[in-house]
Amino acid sequence: MNYMSHFHRDPNIVNGQWVIKGTRVTLRTILGTLAEGATEEEILTDFPTLTHDDVRAVIAFAAASAAEDLPVPELSTV
């Protein structure tokens, strides 16, 4: 998935935070809502301008960011 195609950043929109293209919904808002336990369906209801692919793009972005920033412990050998 090319998740970056779903995002936009403009200094005149929400102070330059990353948002879903065509909206003012920030990635941070979606991630925070997921972290609080909201389902994808609840997010789509709360933010009707979003699509299933938008939410999936945010999750993919978070996964890729975590993979780059977090140290990965070595697996023990058997």
Dump strand ranges (E) for 1-78: 7-8, 19-20
Minimum mean pLDDT range among 18-22, 27-31, 33-37, 68-72: 68-72
Tokens, residue 41: 């369906």
What letter represents residue 32's amino acid?
G
Per-residue pLDDT band for 57 (boundaries 50, 70, 90) equals very high
Return the number of other C-beta atoms located less than 10 Å from residue 30's C-beta.
25
Answer yes or no: are the C-beta atoms of 58 and 43 closer than 8 Å.
Answer: no
Among 42, 41, 39, 14, CA closest to 28: 14
Q: Kindly report the pTM of this predicted structure.
A: 0.81
